Amino acid sequence: MISVSKLLCDLDAEGDGLRYDAANESTKRQIRDEKQRRPVVVWNVTKQCNLYCDHCYAAADTEIADGELSTAEGKALLDDLTDYGAPVVLFSGGEPLVRQDLEELVAYANEVGVRPVLSTNGTLITEERAQSLKDAGLKYAGVSVDGLPERNDDFRGVDGAFEGAVQGIENCLNAGLKTGLRYTITERNAADLEGVVDLLTDVGVDRFCFYHLDYGGRGTEIVDADLTPEDRRQAVKRVCDMTREYHDRGEEIETLLVGNYADAAYLVEYAREHMSEAQAQRVYEYLRVNGGDPTGERVADVDYQGNVHLTQFWQGYSLGNVRDRSFGAIWEDESNPLLTALRNREEHLTGKCADCRYAEVCRGGSRLRALTVEDDLFAPDPQCYLEDEEIHGSPPFDTGESSMAGESSAD
Amino acid sequence: MEEFDHEVDAPRGATSREWEVFVREDTADPLTHVGSVSAPSADIAREQAASLFARTAVTLWLCPADETHRYQTDAATLGTGKAGDDATMSVDEMESETLRGENR
């Protein structure tokens, strides 16, 4: 995750300590006050969903699937994650609210000390469930909306899904739950981006996460609907411009880009072109500490059957199953050559990634997209939209002892 | 002597059949379990596993997860509890609970 509002507008947020080792300089209470060493864990509590979205990475369906972790097993998993030191568990699906024990699991996560957050389509968040989730200790709800009403409903396969999601968002906000938007940008909905933000800021939302399409689950079936490199660059520029415009007029929205670390390099280039060289260096230092694509390191996924994945999007391969072995044992097992290679990917990247000057802040982007499109785990990410002149040459800034990030870590 | 009398028999495989993957990186190495891939057939499982491990492995074994009996000496890692525990909504419940902005 790359916080545009933090990097371009200095907006403090609770995730700064996780993302940039910047807890010391933030005025917001932090999720962690030291650099993240354990992964944020996405837990798909169910494969079942009340909608049928075109781009669902979990290939969710309306029918319940065999082998869901029970309530008791789920609590044992949360104990396991706590013992390992996972800072955050993201309850996801399918649609997690179809599980009627969700509040019990959220409360248990809160009790044992792993921060519970939620990814949902919003359409099952009645007033009662918003309140019960708040009472259970849920810290954040991210609600997926993928365009203005007509386009969103087409994407999600159900008429009224947009209005239902907004109703769910309002119920969360009325219950006092921190709530944000999740928006997967594709060719089909890129035009709606600013319109959705305008509409939802009026409702009271102040956090907006923009996802690039990853090529997992049903996402592989709509690769053709993905943005061209030129359109992707424009969409990211529009997120940057929009964020600064909101902040310039005193509306401090939080905006984040997720799933494509070419964005890290682009943000440096953007700051250099539209702000100042000093700002560009500052952005670069933050992103260098952030460490680029988190696959297999700072993010993990446990699916509804307990299979552990390298990210939530990479459902076709599992490292192991938490019914057989603890999560920590699976995640630490570097006898697995794939895990080791991914954690040392700089040594293996090929093509333009091999000598890219932004390798330190990007780390080659999505290995899953490279695998899906090129059938080569270490080929360049097909979604990279950087121009040749931007990526050739030595690293854009000296990252010696005097760097801001280094000073921050030493404090 | 341990009896391996705890069987882990919950299903694996989210979207299609699951295949346990074993590789050897050198002929002198032991065969190592390196996870599993989802694929509808052994041929496709071989392609999937090769795309992940062919860079370094010299041997690849695939075993259908639903034919693999998993036993351990201790009780199940996550304790007990019937999978599902009727915690999930029925299709009818989902349909009737879904908001469509009626009361906005």
Domains and CATH numbers, chain B: 15-68 (3.10.20.520), 71-104 (no CATH)
A244 interface with B at CB cutoff 8 Å: no
Closest CA in chain A for residue B6: A324
Helix A229-248 vs helix A193-203: crossing angle, to nearest 10: 30
Given this model, what pLDDT does residue A64 score? 80
Cα A241 vs. chain centroid, distance in angstroms? 21
Q: Do A163 and B81 touch (CB under 8 A)?
A: no
Give the residue among A364, A366, A323 at the shortest CA–CA distance from A346.
A364
Supply the DSSP symbol for B36: E
Q: Cα(A401)–Cα(A399) distance, rounded to whole angstroms? A: 7
Residues of chain A numbered 246-305 and touching chain B (CB < 8 Å): 303-305
Given this model, what pLDDT does residue A323 score? 92
Supply the DSSP symbol for B72: E
Given this model, what pLDDT does residue A273 score? 96
Residues of chain A numbered 312-341 and touching chain B (CB < 8 Å): 315-326, 335-338, 341
* Average model confidence (pLDDT) across chain B: 86
Q: Do A321 and B55 touch (CB under 8 A)?
A: no
Residues of chain A numbered 34-63 and touching chain B (CB < 8 Å): 46-48, 50, 58-59, 62-63
CB contact at 8 A, A14 and A28: yes
Q: Give me the sheet containing B32-38, strands edge to edge.
A: A317-318, B32-38, B18-24, B59-64
Distance from CA of A123 to the nearest CA of B (A): 5
Given this model, what pLDDT does residue A407 score? 34
pLDDT tens digits, one per residue of A189-248: 999 999 999 999 999 999 999 999 988 877 677 788 899 999 999 999 999 999 999 999
Q: ipTM, 2 decimals?
A: 0.90
Given this model, what pLDDT does residue A35 score? 56
Kind and range of the H or E run holding B61: strand B59-64
CB contact at 8 A, A130 and A168: yes
CB contact at 8 A, A333 and A405: no
Residues of chain B found within 8 Å of residue A130, distances taken between Cβ atoms:
none
**Cα torsion angle, A323, A329, A332, A338, sign:** negative
Residues 6+ apart with CB under 8 A from B87: A68, A70, A71, A99, A100, A101
Residues of chain B found within 8 Å of residue A100, distances taken between Cβ atoms:
87-89
CB contact at 8 A, A124 and A101: no
Low-confidence residues in chain A, pLDDT < 50: 401-411
Given this model, what pLDDT does residue A32 score? 62
Distance from CA of B19 to the nearest CA of A (A): 10
Given this model, what pLDDT does residue A409 score? 31
* Full-model pTM: 0.92
Give the residue among A13, A27, A36 at the shortest CA–CA distance from A88.
A36
| Calculated CA dihedral for residues A93, A96, A102, A105, nearest 10 degrees | 20
**How many residues can be counted in chain B?**
104
Given this model, what pLDDT does residue B7 score? 79
Given this model, what pLDDT does residue B100 score? 85
Find the CB nearest B14 among A47, A375, A377.
A47
Q: Do A163 and B55 touch (CB under 8 A)?
A: no
pLDDT tens digits, one per residue of A146-182: 999 999 888 888 889 999 999 999 999 999 999 999 9
Residues of chain A numbered 82-121 and touching chain B (CB < 8 Å): 98-101
Is pLDDT at B83 greater than 60 in this prediction?
A: no
Cis peptide before A94 (omega within 30 of 0): yes
Average pLDDT over residues B5-14: 77
Instruction: Grade residue B86 by pLDDT with cuts at 50, 70 and 90.
Output: low
CB contact at 8 A, A246 and A272: no
Amino acid at A26: S
Q: Do B79 and A72 touch (CB under 8 A)?
A: yes
φ, ψ of residue A264 to 5 degrees: the values are -60, -50
Given this model, what pLDDT does residue B10 score? 79
Radius of gyration for chain A, computed over Cα atoms and rounded to the nearest angstrom: 20
Helix residue ranges per DSSP H, B1-104:
42-53, 91-97
Closest CA in chain A for residue B53: A338
CB contact at 8 A, A13 and A26: yes
